[in-house]
Structure 1
C-alpha cells in the first residue's frame, strides 16, 4: 500500500500530533476556516489525509481497554498500574484519565476533521459534482466508524452523534438512538459514494476505487446491523460489501503505519518476550482453544512467564508482528461470521453451518459436529469469533451483546468485568 508522507506531514501541520496522551488540538482554527472558505484541491486532499491519519491515534489505548474488559489480554506496565487495577475491576473506572478521555477525544477529533472536510468540499468551486460525492461519501463513512468505536466503549451511556457546531453540541443520545444515527450516516455515505469519483489519497485499501469504498461502507453497515439485531439488513449489507464466503479471510481494510518521516509506527505492537511493557494473552485463550487450531499462533509462547499484581501469563499477544504491521479495521473473516450469525438468527441453519465450517476448516478444525439448535450454534459462533477475531476489539462487545459478560473470567477476588466506560468528565461539563 502506498504511503503519502508529504501529505501526512501537511496533515500534522493542520493539528495532528503523535503523542498518545495529552490534550487533543482543536481544528477550529483560522487555517481550517480559510480552507473551508476557499481551499485548493491540494488543501482539501490534505484534510482527507488528516482525517484518515487521525484514526490511528490512541488505538493502543482503545484495544487495551476493551481487550482487558473482554478478558482477552493482560496489559503489564511498570509505569501504569491502572491496567492491572482499575481496568480489571479494582476500585472502578475513572472518568478523567487516559483510558476514558483519550479514545473519546481522538475519535471526536477525527469527526471534527470530517465535518471540516465536508464543509470545505461543499464550498469548493474547484471540484466536480462526482468528485465532491467521493469526498463526502468517504468522510461520512469514516465519521460513522469513529462514532461506532466510541459507542463501543460507552454502550448505554451513549454518545454525541451531532458535533458539527462545537459551540452548540448535540445531546448525548442513548445506545439504540446512537446506533440508528450511525446507520443513517453510513447510508448517507453509501448514497454519496454511488456514482462518485475518488481523486484524493486513501490508504486504508490498495488501489482505491469508489466501489472499494462503497464495499467498505457496507461492511461497516453489516456490523452495525448485527449490533442492532437487524439480521436481514445485515445480510443485505453483506451482499453489497466485499464479503466472500470462500475468499481469503484477511482481505479487508486497514490502518497502515511506517517508519517514514512524518508518519507513526503501529502503536499496538510490542516485541515478543518483552521485559518491560507487555501485552499478554489471557491464559484462558490457550487453555480453551481446540487441539490443532492454528489460531493458537496469535498467542505465542514466551521464553519465560510474566507476572504482575497476582496475574500470570506465558503467552504474548502476537497478531501484529512488526512495528509497521497494519491494524485491520474490518476483514472478510468477520464478515463470514456476521453471515453465520444472521443466518442463525433467521433460522436458516444449513447456511449458518456452512459458514461456521468455512472458519473451522480454514483453521485446521473438523466440521461442526455439535448439537444443531440455534442456541448451540450461537455459542459456536461466539467461540469462533473469540479465536478468529482475537484482540481485534470484538470479544467484550460480543459477550455483552448476548448478555454473557458473567461468563468472562475474573482472576482475583477484586476483579470485575465492567459493561461500559464512563463518559469523560470534560463532556459532563458541556
Structure 2
C-alpha cells in the first residue's frame, strides 16, 4: 500500500543517544519503533521529546542549505527586503532562488517540500508524545512538562505551516475560511484534506493554552520550551491574528524575568544561548554540528565557508540609514568596510553594509559551533509596543519601546508620536532589532504590506524581483508535488 507523503514524514520518530546536557539522535520511521515503549517511562519520554528538538536542526532532503528551522529563519528574511545577498557571486549561490521568490512557488523544488516535511515531522512526533505520555510511569510533574512541551511543539509546527502555505489571517474576515493546512492531531497514515486557516489557528491557540497549564518557568536549559516561551508563542500568534489585547498581555508576561542585553553583550556575536535576553534557542553542542549546513555557515561574518567569503549577507542600506550612530546596533553592520572595523574570513570580500551581527569566536572561525536564537525578550518588547499602539495606547506603547531602545541607544528619547506614525516607528525598530532572525517575510504578510526592494542596495542580477503586491498568490508556498500525488484530498494553492 502506498504511504501518504504527509503522514510518512509526520510520523518519523526519534531515537536518542544522550550527550552531555542535551540529546543527539538518529531518526527512523515510526513503523519500526514501539511508541508505547518509547513513552513507557518519563525518562524514555524525555529522550523522545529531546529528539523532536533535534529534528529542528538536521539536514532535510540531503540539502546543505536547508538544515532545519535555522535555515528557514535565514530564508524567511531573504524573502524580504532587509537581508540581502551582498555580491554578484551569489547570483547562482545558496538561497538565490528563495530571494527571487521562485523556489517556494515550484512544487518540485526543495523549498516547497522542505518546510512541509520538517514541520510535519515535528508535529507527527509531538502527536506520538501527546497520545502516549499520560500512560508513562514517573512523576506527574514530569508527565505534565513533557506533554506541555509536545503541545507547544505541535502548535509551533502548525503556526509556521499555516503562515507559509495559507493566506494571511484577517481579523476583519472571521471566520477565515481560506484553505490552511491539514490538521493531523493523532498518529495516522490516512491522507487528510486541508483545514481552514481559522481552524488551524483555533487548534494552535488550544494547544498553547493547554501547554500553559502544564508547564512552569523551570527547565533544564534554554533549548527546551517552558512557560515563558509558550507565552511568547501566544504573543506571536495573537499578533498575527490582530488580537492586540492578547498580544500585549502575553508579550509582557513572556518577557518577565528577562533582562535586555547590554551594549557590550550586543556586540558578542549573537551565538551564545546563555545571553540574558535569549528565551529559547538551539544550544549547539560539539557532536551536533551541521558544518557547512549550519546557521552560522550562512549568516555569520567570519565562518570560513564559501558563502561567507564570497557572497556574505548585508543589510538594506535604507534601513541602515535609519540607525543613529549612537545606537549600538549601528555597529552590527559596516557601511564602509575596512580592515580594522569588519571581521571576515581569509580572502573574504567586504561589500558595503556588511553583516557583523552574527560572529563566531575566532578570526577566522573554523567551527560553525554557534547557538541560534529562536526567541528573545526584545521581540516581546516590540510585540507589546506594537499591540499597544494599535490599541491607541500611545503612552503605553512609547514607554515599552523606550525601555528597550534606550538600552540600545543612550541618546534615544521617548516618542511623542501616536497612531500610524508611532506604529511605523515600532516596525522600523523591529526590522533593525530582529534582522537575520527570521521574521521579515511573516511581518510583511501579516501586515498586508508589499515587498518593495526599490532604491535599496539589492543587486538586480541577484534579486531579479523587486516588487510583490499584497495579496499576490506568491505570498503562499505551493504544496509539494509529492504530497499532491500521494494525498488525493489535498488541494493545491493557486499557481
* Shorter-chain TM-score above 0.5: yes
Q: Which residue of 2 aligns with 1:235?
A: 248
- What is the distance in 2 between the residues matched to 1:165 and 1:102? 21
- How far is 1:254 from its partner? 1.3
- How far is 1:294 from its partner? 1.9
- How far is 1:197 from its partner? 8.7
- What is the distance in 1 between the residues matched to 2:229 and 2:98? 35
- How far is 1:47 from its partner? 0.1
After superposition, the C-alpha distances for 1:110-159 in whole angstroms (9 at most, x for unaligned) are 211212222331232x1233322111111111221122223332241622
RMSD: 3.4
Q: Which residue of 2 aligns with 1:42?
A: 43
After superposition, the C-alpha distances for 1:268-319 in whole angstroms (9 at most, x for unaligned) are 103536572144124424344333332133334656999xxxxx94344343
After superposition, the C-alpha distances for 1:342-397 in whole angstroms (9 at most, x for unaligned) are 11111111111111222332221644576723110110010000001111111222
Q: Please, which moves more after superposition, 42-51 or 376-385?
A: 42-51
Is 1:289 equivalent to 2:323 in the alignment?
Answer: yes
Q: Secondary structure at the match of 1:330?
A: strand
Is 1:223 equivalent to 2:242 in the alignment?
Answer: no
List gaps (5 residues or longer) in structure 2: 1-16, 59-67, 168-178, 262-275, 345-349, 361-367, 469-473, 488-495
**TM-score, length of structure 1 as denominator length:** 0.81
Is 1:64 equivalent to 2:94 in the alignment?
Answer: no
| Contact 2:406–2:413 under 8 Å retained in 1 | no
Q: Which residue of 1 aligns with 2:387?
A: 342
Which residue of 147, 162, 184 corresponds with 2:158?
Answer: 147
Q: Which residue of 1 aligns with 2:114?
A: 102
Q: Which residue of 2 aligns with 1:252?
A: 279
Is 1:158 equivalent to 2:158 in the alignment?
Answer: no
Is 1:333 equivalent to 2:378 in the alignment?
Answer: yes
Q: Secondary structure at the match of 1:342?
A: helix
- What is the distance in 2 between the residues matched to 1:355 and 1:298? 23
Q: Please, which moves more after superposition, 326-335 or 147-156?
A: 147-156
In structure 2, relative to structure 1, the CA distance for the partners of 1:72 and 1:370 (3 Å cut) is same
Which residue of 93, 97, 100 corresponds with 1:88?
Answer: 100
- What is the distance in 2 between the residues matched to 1:188 and 1:117? 15
Is 1:427 equivalent to 2:490 in the alignment?
Answer: no
List gaps (5 residues or longer) in structure 1: 16-24, 206-211, 307-311
- What is the distance in 2 between the residues matched to 1:6 and 1:255? 15
Which residue of 417, 435, 438 corresponds with 1:393?
Answer: 438
- How far is 1:336 from its partner? 0.6
- How far is 1:221 from its partner? 0.5
- What is the distance in 1 between the residues matched to 2:435 and 2:218? 36
| Contact 2:313–2:355 under 8 Å retained in 1 | yes
- What is the distance in 2 between the residues matched to 1:357 and 1:6? 40
In structure 2, relative to structure 1, the CA distance for the partners of 1:55 and 1:329 (3 Å cut) is same
Q: Secondary structure at the match of 2:405?
A: helix
- What is the distance in 2 between the residues matched to 1:267 and 1:54? 13
Q: How does 1:167-178 map onto structure 2 within 5 Å?
A: 167-178=189-200
| Contact 1:130–1:197 under 8 Å retained in 2 | no
After superposition, the C-alpha distances for 1:58-117 in whole angstroms (9 at most, x for unaligned) are 234312321111122234776954732453246973222222212221121121121222
Q: Secondary structure at the match of 1:160?
A: coil
Q: Secondary structure at the match of 1:277?
A: helix
Number of residue pairs aligned between Structure 1 and Structure 2: 399
